Amino acid sequence: FAGNNSEFLKGVVAMSGLPPADRLEVCFAGRSNVGKSTLINALTGRTRLARASNTPGRTQEINYFTLADSHYLVDLPGYGYANAPLAVVEKWQRLLKQYLSGRATLRRAFVLVDSRHGIKAVDDEIMSLLDSSAVTFQVVMTKVDKVKDKDLEKVMGQVRERLAKHPAAFPEIVLTSSEKGDGIANLRAIIANLA
Ligand code: GTP
Ligand code: MG
């Protein structure tokens, strides 16, 4: 990356609020609490840039961050948490569909999957939405520090099996721990190499 400065740009609640589409963009999707905000912090090397929390559903807006001066990192609101009011869920789904199908500079979506849990039904739904929006997506396993190798292998088997059904899935899966730093440099390189 050219330069190393990252900053929070803005939170967006409607398509009209998106920043100008003037650079490459990647987004981070995943169930609430999977570790999206923490991963963005690890990628940018800033501990409190994206607000991470133990309260599921903390990130309600589409949050834009700059990475160097060349990329946008987009933190999407987490999905699949219990107790979310239906109206909120529907509003979010509408915005997500508009965003995924209408953002020309979006190069790749990273779908985060908890290494302990594997792909859930709600993840499958998002992946199908990405298929139909023709947005290439890549799975990033999070919190690998929390699982034993043997259990991770089992979960990875399930993930590969599910991914085979999604035409927009990028085959390589990235293993990460934002806590320990595993896979972060690899993911940075993947993003830097997107053209
Ligand atoms: P929402 O904004 O609600 O959608 O959640 P999120 O996906 O942004 O999750 P967030 O980054 O807030 O992380 C949720 C919790 O998981 C926090 O307590 C993090 O500290 C923890 N966490 C995130 N990544 C890791 C990791 O790699 N290892 C461990 N052990 N914990 C992690
Ligand atoms: Mg978050």
What ipTM was assigned to the predicted interfaces of this complex?
Answer: 0.99
Domain boundaries, the chain: 6-192
CB atoms within 10 A of CB 132: 13
Q: What is the pLDDT of residue 169?
A: 98
Q: What is the pLDDT of residue 109?
A: 98
Centroid of ligand 2 to alpha carbon of 78 (angstroms): 7
pLDDT (tens digit per residue) in 68-82: 889 999 999 888 876
- Which pTM was predicted? 0.94
Strand arrangement of the beta sheet that strand 106-114 belongs to = 6-12, 62-67, 71-75, 24-30, 106-114, 137-142, 174-175
Q: What is the pLDDT of residue 6?
A: 87
Contact residues for 149 (Cβ-Cβ < 8 A; gap 6+): none
Pocket of ligand 1 (CB under 6 A): 30, 32-38, 52-54, 56-59, 78, 142-143, 145-146, 177-179
Centroid of ligand 2 to alpha carbon of 37 (angstroms): 4
Centroid of ligand 2 to alpha carbon of 94 (angstroms): 19
- Show the low-confidence residues of the chain (pLDDT under 50): none
CATH number for region 6-192:
3.40.50.300
* Closest protein CA for atom 21 of ligand 1: 35
Residue 169 DSSP code = B
CA angle at residue 105 from 143 to 16, to 5 degrees?
95
User: Where are the extended beta strands (E) located within the chain?
Assistant: 6-12, 24-30, 62-67, 71-75, 106-114, 137-142, 174-175
Question: Which ligand places an atom closest to the C-alpha of 55?
Answer: 1
